Amino acid sequence: RKEVEQDPGPFNVPEGATVAFNCTYSNSASQSFFWYRQDCRKEPKLLMSVYSSGNEDGRFTAQLNRASQYISLLIRDSKLSDSATYLCVVTPTDSWGKLQFGAGTQVVVTP
């Protein structure tokens, strides 16, 4: 079983619509959680950290459910520029700095 699992998509989303997707992680002791964005053939870029209380950054909302071991990302009022692959990232407690990446969820926003 993969340590971080994501639905690969693609999620085809009309411009202006809302899209949400989850990521599950296997290590219950995982410490930190992030969403990264990766454009085609580019490096990943940090989108937002995910906190236990949930957090929002503009049109993006992230939630963490430790009991069920998943995190979610919701994008409101989707823009064409939101088209990308969204990577779920988890850090284990026993190794400082190590990031465990999911394979990503592809989002395609259409006009």
Partner 1 sequence: GAVVSQHPSWVICKSGTSVKIECRSLDFQATTMFWYRQFPKQSLMLMATSNEGSKATYEQGVEKDKFLINHASLTLSTLTVTSAHPEDSSFYICSATFKERRGDTQYFGPGTRLTVL
C-beta of 22 vs 91, nearer to partner 1 = 91
Residues that bind partner 1 (CB under 8 A): 4, 8, 31-32, 41-46, 87, 91, 96-104
- Dihedral, CA of residue 13, residue 49, residue 8 and residue 80, to nearest 10: 30
C-beta of 6 vs 78, nearer to partner 1 = 6
For residues 101 and 89, give the distance between their C-alpha atoms in angstroms, rounded to a whole number. Answer: 5
CB of 104 to partner 1, least distance (A): 7
CB of 64 to partner 1, least distance (A): 14
CB of 49 to partner 1, least distance (A): 9
C-beta of 28 vs 94, nearer to partner 1 = 94
Longest Cα separation, the chain: 45
CB of 10 to partner 1, least distance (A): 11
Handedness of CA 105, 39, 81, 48 (dihedral sign): positive
DSSP-derived 3-state class of residue 80: helix
